[in-house]
Amino acid sequence: MPNYLRIFLFYSLIVGSGFSQETVKSDTVIFPRMIFIERGDSSYYMDKYEVTNGEYAQFLNDLGNQEEEGAPWIELRSRFALIEESESGKFVAIDSFDTHPAVEISWHGAKAYCEWAGKRLPTQSEWRFGCQGRDSRKYPWGKKFIEGYANIYGHKHDGYVRTAPVGTYPLGASPFGLLDMSGNVWEWTYSEGDLQFLRGGSWVNGATLGQCDKRSNTKDAHSYIKGNTLGFRCAR
């Protein structure tokens, strides 16, 4: 874990249906607020937002872009990558994409970031419950899809061709206050075994794949795959 995380102060306050754990601002970064998800003996925290390019670049500057299963944590050679390595060897978010969700991330790259931050990837069950709450709704906000509540279909009404900055769609919040659980980027989850699944759909998908109970199929579930629609958030 990076040293500056150890000096962060944490406090809790009541927000909506549960508690929200926030971090105090350091000199260079504000880590995403974590939302408390109450579920009896298996309660947990989840990041309110998807991990951004700016945050992932800081992780890379600490540990480098390592390889697992023969593939790097993030595919920087992709023309869709939103992080680059400068001539000085420092990783930085490209242009104004520092608050957009990090993409081209493998499952190993997502898992490594969460562990570096003192967190972990959410399980499929945790992710789904955080998305739909106790009433098993189809979408984070309710039973029916509503235009303008999520970044799907490649819509440009938000002014962004692909991903949008995290938190752009506040009306699409889940019952617990989690944002962008539908659309923007598919999110890695943790499962026992060789296959690791993605949930939530992305900016390029239709409304159906943005439903809380949908997940990627098995051909997309290998931990080494990456793409410009794949990102993640952490839990604890």
Beta strands in the chain (DSSP E): 10-15, 18-23, 34-37, 44-47, 67-68, 71-72, 83-85, 91-93, 186-188, 198-199, 230-231
> Of all residues in the chain, what percent carry a pLDDT higher than 70?
83
pLDDT at 234: 98
Total of domains in the chain: 1
Whether 206 shows a pLDDT value over 60: the answer reads yes
Show Cβ contacts of residue 33 under 8 Å, excluding neighbours closer than 6 positions.
20, 21, 22, 23, 47, 48, 49
For residue 158, the enclosing domain spans 1-236
- List b or e across 117-144, with b for residues whose CB sees 16 or more CB atoms inside 10 angstroms: bebebbbbebbbbbbbbeeebbbbbeee
Q: Could you give the strand order of the β-sheet that contains 18-23, starting from the edge strand earlier in sequence?
A: 10-15, 18-23, 34-37, 44-47
CA distance 179 to 170: 7
Cβ count near 180 (within 10 Å) = 29
pLDDT at 32: 57
Quick: pLDDT tens for 123-144: 999 999 999 999 989 999 999 9
pLDDT at 193: 84
pLDDT at 20: 45
Whether 81 shows a pLDDT value over 60: the answer reads yes
CA distance 227 to 198: 12
The predicted model gives 64-93 an average pLDDT of 94
Show Cβ contacts of residue 156 under 8 Å, excluding neighbours closer than 6 positions.
none
CATH code for the domain of 123: 3.90.1580.10
The predicted model gives 19-37 an average pLDDT of 57
- 139 strand-pairing partners: 142
Mean model confidence pLDDT for the chain: 86
pLDDT at 110: 97
Instruction: Using alpha carbons, select from 53, 25, 214 the residue that is nearest to residue 127.
Output: 214
Whether 91 shows a pLDDT value over 80: the answer reads yes
Q: How far is CA 108 from the centre of its chain?
A: 14
Cβ count near 24 (within 10 Å) = 11
Whether 7 shows a pLDDT value over 80: the answer reads no
